[in-house]
């Protein structure tokens, strides 16, 4: 597999897959963890050069990488809360994903999920601060939950929110445990285990803090949902 392979671009420090969209219908994504700001900029630019017509997403960016992208690629959209950036036009959304978060500390993960949904072609409805210790706030948004084609439910600590939401509605639901907590939260493992053991049927789970993965799944579900 030489650098002449038209399906990849060899940047020296990385070989960029140029045909994921063809294979899965999803946009290209740069996982920023462990990459220098310059590397992030270079990969974003390369992917964008090949596909001006659709957005590229970069996630898990350090503050330095966010700065570098903002300076080098002024047309990029920076999302500091999501620690992410996009380059190129977002697709016209099909279907809607409601991104539900338990507390303010879960906001970065929820923001990553929401941006991922938008880049992957679905509309987003953000519902924040509806933790289970204040049920009235959650019950007040029940119709927005029902109106979505897929739900992403983000929670740390005891991870109870997906169970409560899953008891209120039959919309497909992806739960995202966050590393918010301390002591016996074990870096998010407590919330992860709780979500895997939910008594509400049909809840599926992604890795701790993996807003991106939840967003990809939810957007795929929403995109293929029939209009109602």
Q: The tokens of 200 are what?
A: 């509400």
> Site for a copy of itself (CB under 8 A): which residue of 125, 126, 129, 147?
129
Out of 3, 13, 38, 63, the residue judged to bind a copy of itself by CB under 8 A:
13
Answer yes or no whether residue 186 interacts with a copy of itself by CB under 8 A. yes
Closer residue to a copy of itself, CB minimum distance, 46 or 179:
179
211: contact with a copy of itself by CB under 8 A: no
Please, which residues have CB within 8 angstroms of residue 134's CB and are 6 or more apart in sequence?
Answer: none
Question: Rounded to the nearest whole angstrom, what is the least distance from the CB of residue 163 to a copy of itself in the complex?
Answer: 5
Which residue in the set 46, 86, 96, 198 belongs to the binding site for a copy of itself (CB under 8 A)? 198
Q: Which two tokens stand for residue 84?
A: 């992410």
Contact 54, 88 (CB under 8 A): yes
71 or 202: CB nearest a copy of itself:
202
Which parts of 16-45 interact with a copy of itself (CB under 8 A)? 17, 23-26, 29, 33-34
CB of residue 89 to a copy of itself, shortest distance in Å: 20
Long-range contacts of 47-54 (CB under 8 A, 24+ apart): 47/16, 47/18, 47/87, 48/73, 48/87, 48/88, 50/9, 50/18, 51/21, 51/88, 52/88, 53/88, 53/89, 54/21, 54/27, 54/88, 54/89, 54/91
Shortest spacing between CB 205 and a copy of itself, in angstroms = 5
Footprint of a copy of itself on residues 68-127 (CB under 8 A)?
102-105
Q: Is the dihedral of CA 178, 130, 138, 133 positive or negative?
A: positive
- Answer yes or no whether residue 131 interacts with a copy of itself by CB under 8 A: yes
């Amino acid at each position: 597999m030489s650098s002449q392979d038209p399906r990849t671009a060899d940047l020296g420090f990385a070989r960029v897959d140029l045909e994921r969209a063809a294979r899965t219908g999803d946009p290209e994504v740069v996982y920023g963890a462990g990459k220098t700001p310059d590397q992030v900029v270079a990969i974003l630019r390369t992917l964008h050069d090949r596909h001006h017509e659709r957005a590229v997403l970069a996630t898990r960016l350090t503050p330095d990488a966010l700065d570098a992208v903002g300076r080098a690629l002024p047309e990029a959209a920076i999302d500091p809360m999501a620690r992410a950036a996009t380059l190129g036009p977002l697709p016209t959304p099909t279907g809607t994903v409601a991104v539900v978060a338990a507390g303010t500390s879960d906001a970065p993960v929820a923001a990553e999920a929401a941006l991922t949904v938008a880049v992957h072609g679905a509309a987003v409805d953000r519902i924040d601060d509806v933790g289970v210790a204040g049920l009235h706030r959650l019950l007040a948004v029940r119709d927005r939950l029902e109106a979505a084609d897929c739900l992403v439910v983000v929670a740390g600590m005891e991870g109870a929110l997906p169970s409560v939401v899953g008891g209120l509605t039959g919309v497909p639901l992806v739960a995202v445990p966050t590393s918010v907590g301390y002591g016996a939260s074990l870096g998010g493992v407590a919330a992860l285990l709780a979500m895997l053991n939910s008594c509400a049927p049909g809840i599926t789970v992604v890795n701790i803090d993996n807003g991106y993965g939840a967003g990809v799944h939810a957007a795929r579900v929403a995109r293929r949902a029939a209009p109602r």
